């Protein structure tokens, strides 16, 4: 985007840069990409200062964008209904049960993409999943973000679908539930993101609409939080989504899990319209 191509270096002001950044925010770029662009501008204008071409770097007055700066996209009820309509499964998900189930888990548990990739057969139970790891494309299995190992109760029909999938695939033990093309590694996050974008196109959401609405895979997590808010205490919701650094798997006892059982009742009600199979 050659926004400043007709300007002299000395004519690039704080206000013109801020206007440019506001414009690219509206395109739906991620906060990290926006900050990369900001850093490039800072480096270029900083070199101009070093060479004596301008007296001051206008980027010094412009802070970094944060997640809170940008609107968070969520999936509305109509989008969810169309994405998980069993009648259009073949069109939307191209008969890929694994990709369909990955997105369903993200919606109904609030798990991060890396946490879903890292799920092994031993982590799956009838009424809950255990988050012990996250998957990093470079480093492999790691502890979850903030060391937030945890138990997450799941809606009844979702738990049944996951177990049925595992049985049909003949998986066991420490095998990844969502196998990738490389032996011993889960499905690549690029493939997961691409499949979601394709599914959105299939229900009539264009790439431009998706970017403007800031709809990404992480939007499932925001949607889970929005739907479960006021259904369960905020403290429980934070515990489920792993937003607290002091919540570790070993802190859970059988009694603690029983205290979380109302979450299943809430999930059954909240996600009753999200069914497949």
Q: What is the CATH number of the domain that holds 63?
A: 1.10.150.130
114-124: pLDDT as tens digits: 999 999 999 99
Residue 22 located in a structural domain: yes
Q: How far does Cα 134 stand from its chain's mean position?
A: 13
- Of residues 252 and 38, more confidently modeled: 38
Residue 230 located in a structural domain: yes
Q: What is the CATH number of the domain that holds 163?
A: 1.10.443.10
- 232: pLDDT confidence band, cut at 50, 70 and 90? confident
The answer to whether residues 33 and 91 belong to one domain is: no
The answer to whether residues 17 and 40 belong to one domain is: yes
Residues of the domain holding 59 = 9-69
The span from the CA of 254 to the CA of 234, in Å, is 21
- 49: pLDDT confidence band, cut at 50, 70 and 90? very high
Nearest to 100 by CA among 222, 187, 212: 187
75-91: pLDDT as tens digits: 998 999 999 999 999 99
The answer to whether residues 19 and 101 belong to one domain is: no
For residue 178, what pLDDT is reported? 96
For residue 276, what pLDDT is reported? 55
The length of the chain is: 277
Residue 161 located in a structural domain: yes
117-163: pLDDT as tens digits: 999 999 998 889 999 999 998 889 998 877 778 888 888 889 999 99
Range of lowest pLDDT (73-82, 189-198, 243-252): 243-252
The span from the CA of 13 to the CA of 245, in Å, is 42
- 255: pLDDT confidence band, cut at 50, 70 and 90? very low
- Domain termination site, one of 46, 69, 92: 69
Domain count, the chain: 2
The span from the CA of 244 to the CA of 237, in Å, is 10
Mean pLDDT confidence for 244-255: 41
The average confidence (pLDDT) of the chain is 84
For residue 242, what pLDDT is reported? 79
For residue 275, what pLDDT is reported? 62
> Per-residue pLDDT for 174 more than 50?
yes
Residue 277 located in a structural domain: no
């Amino acid at each position: 985007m050659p926004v400043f191509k007709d300007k002299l270096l000395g004519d690039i002001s704080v206000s013109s840069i801020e206007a440019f950044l506001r414009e690219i925010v509206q395109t739906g770029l991620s906060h990290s990409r926006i900050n990369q662009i900001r850093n490039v501008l800072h480096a270029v204008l900083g070199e101009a200062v070093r060479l004596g071409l301008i007296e001051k770097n206008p980027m010094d007055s412009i802070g970094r964008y944060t997640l809170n700066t940008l609107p968070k996209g969520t999936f509305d009820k109509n989008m969810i209904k169309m994405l998980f309509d069993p009648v259009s499964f073949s069109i939307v998900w191209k008969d890929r049960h694994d990709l369909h189930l990955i997105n369903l888990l993200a919606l109904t548990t609030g798990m991060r993409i890396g946490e879903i990739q890292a799920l092994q057969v031993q982590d799956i139970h009838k009424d809950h999943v255990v988050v012990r790891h996250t998957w990093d494309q470079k480093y492999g299995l790691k502890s979850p973000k903030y060391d937030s190992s945890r138990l997450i109760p799941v809606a009844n029909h979702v738990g049944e679908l996951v177990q049925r999938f595992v049985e049909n695939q003949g998986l066991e033990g420490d095998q990844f539930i969502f196998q990738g093309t490389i032996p011993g590694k889960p499905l690549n996050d690029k493939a997961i993101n691409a499949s979601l974008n394709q599914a959105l196109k299939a229900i009539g959401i264009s790439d431009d609409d998706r970017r403007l609405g800031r709809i990404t895979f992480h939007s499932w997590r925001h949607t889970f939080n929005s739907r479960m808010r006021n259904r369960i205490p905020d403290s429980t919701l934070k515990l489920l989504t792993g937003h607290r650094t002091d919540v570790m798997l070993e802190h859970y006892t059988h009694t603690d899990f029983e205290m979380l059982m109302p979450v299943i009742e809430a999930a059954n009600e909240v996600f009753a319209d999200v069914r497949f199979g």
